[in-house]
Amino acid sequence: MNVLNSSELQKVVNIFRDENTCPDDIDEAGQNVLIALYEGKNSKELRFKLLQKSLVKNNFNLASLPPTTAAALENFLRAYLQVQLWSGFAKIPLDWDWKKNQT
């Protein structure tokens, strides 16, 4: 799949632009892009296969693996909040499971 020319990618962009998108839709859209970028079927299987492939090399680099599902979700939500801010629909990060640190 050519990710850059894909109609599926346009759907993902629209999900990230929609000010009323729910976190589950953001997660699904983001996972689909991640899977397409790494040419896999699902994120857990993809991560496992890439780990297996990397372990046979002498210079294994953990950073070369795609993020875990949980880490990817945090990145997708952060990207969504940033797109909303740029679009003039500033969201309250605390409403999106972000935590405020006392400093």
Q: How far apart are CA 86 and CA 78, in angstroms?
A: 12
Q: Are 32 and 6 in contact (CB under 8 A)?
A: no
Q: Are residues 1 and 49 in the same domain?
A: yes
Residues 33 and 51 in one domain: yes
Summarised one tens digit per residue, pLDDT across range 67-97 is 888 888 999 999 999 999 999 998 888 888 7
Residues 3 and 33 in one domain: yes
Backbone dihedral angles phi then psi of residue 51, each to the nearest 5 degrees: -65, -45
Note whether 43 and 80 are same-domain residues: no
Which structural domain range is residue 71 located in? 66-98
Cβ atoms of 44 and 55 closer than 8 Å = no
Give residue-wise pLDDT tens across range 31-46.
888 877 777 666 667 6
Judge whether 90 lies within some domain: yes
**How far apart (Å, rounded) are the C-alpha atoms in residues 48 and 53?**
9
Determine contact, residues 76/29, Cβ cutoff 8 Å. yes
In the chain, how many domains are there? 2
